[in-house]
Structure 1
Amino acid sequence: MRLDTDFMRNDDSRQDRKSRCQWSASICSMNPLRSLIGFKLAPKNASSSEIPLTMYTCLLETPSIQVYQALRVGSGLSGKTDEAAARGLPNSLFAVQILHGAQPVGMGRVIGDGGCFFQVVDIAVLREHQGKGLGKRIMGEILRFIETQVPESGYVSLIADGPAQDLYAQFGFVHTAPRSVGMAYKRPRPADS
């Protein structure tokens, strides 16, 4: 199988986007919050008339609580309560969603203090849409935000689960161990009564 991808965005230069995401780009006039991604999956020797076209759109907007929860669980990440999502989502510094038609199928966010510290979180693509380059598209949008909005001294980090570290490495993220390691607070469980 060969994967040919074209996506269009009205505010990106052809060479700049190609080098960031390793996808070919062309320019079209569209809503600046959306960009069109056309994915053509075809056998190596298929003619262009034989290639089905599935369209995805990229929306630079924080997902709703329900969409956020569904994308996390549907992609294999842990669930978050209504209360946690309601508190956390409005504090996103940047968010991107991938839509298939009108249906959200992927997302990613950047959180932090807006000056010194930034963390990439919630990189999620529904299982049935994985393997189509959507994670790269999400990370490409996040990298664009980092490169244009994060001060030079800002520290950008993420926690990589399993093989996702290979995706993040393509966007300039490196292991920090052994010099520093990620740690998480684990709440003590209440004693059984």
Structure 2
Amino acid sequence: MAATADVPDGYALRRDVPTPETFLTLREAAGMPPRSRDGAERGLPNSLFGVTVVHEPTNEPVGMGRVVGDGGTVYQICDMAVHPDHQGQGLGTVIMSAIDEWIAETAPPNAYVNLFADVDGFYERFGFEATRPASNGMFRRTE
């Protein structure tokens, strides 16, 4: 487990799930595939844990991440995003450190923690490794 990262000056880390508006806005700004408002409104309350980073001078949410799963055997880290205007300041590390700390404190032994990485070399420092060739991640989208 990585040590909890210091939050840079001018930012605050909030241990709460993003609102649907924040979720949709940050996903779009970060170039992530869109989600429906209905899906966000239904899904976000079912999160196990979430964090939001706020730019204090503007009180604008600029980063987020959350954990979904069954709360005992499977945890999936998802929706990691930092607004492009605020990237390069270590906010992704702050978000991931808070998530990693929460999982270490709450997950029972031998729980499976997974994620789909879209940034090479970032998640490895938190102990994640590629599953191939032992397994192959897959997905599909609904229409």
Same-fold call, TM cutoff 0.5: yes
CA RMSD of aligned residues (A): 1.7
Deviations 1:123-145 (A, max 9, x none): 00000101110000000001001
TM-score by length of 1: 0.69
Pairing of 1:11-30 with structure 2 (within 5 A)? 20-21=3-4
- 2:110 corresponds in structure 1 to 153
- 1:123 corresponds in structure 2 to 80
SS in 2 for 1:86: helix
- 2:135 corresponds in structure 1 to 180
The answer to whether the aligner puts 1:106 opposite 2:106 as a matched pair is no
- 2:29 corresponds in structure 1 to 74
- 1:50 corresponds in structure 2 to none
- 1:92 corresponds in structure 2 to 47
- With CA pairs under 8 Å and 6+ residues apart, which has the higher RCO, 1 or 2? 2
**CA-CA distance at 1:186 after TM superposition:** 4.5
Amino acid at match of 1:60: R
Deviations 1:68-92 (A, max 9, x none): 1001111111111111101110011
- 1:132 corresponds in structure 2 to 89
Q: Unpaired segments of 5 or more residues in structure 2?
A: none
Amino acid at match of 1:79: P
Match of 1:143 among 97, 100, 111: 100
Q: Unpaired segments of 5 or more residues in structure 1?
A: 1-15, 26-36, 40-54
Whichever structure has more strand as a proportion of its residues is: 1
For this pair of structures, how many residues does the alignment match?
Answer: 141
- 1:9 corresponds in structure 2 to none
Match of 2:8 among 33, 38, 41: 38
In structure 1, C-alpha distance between the alignment counterparts of 2:61 and 2:125, rounded to whole Å = 24
SS in 2 for 1:136: helix
Q: Which has the larger radius of gyration?
A: 1
- 2:14 corresponds in structure 1 to 59
Cα pair distance change 1:85/1:186, threshold 3 Å: closer
| Percentage of matched positions with identical amino acids | 40
List structure 1 segments (4+ residues) > 2 angstroms apart after TM superposition.
Answer: none
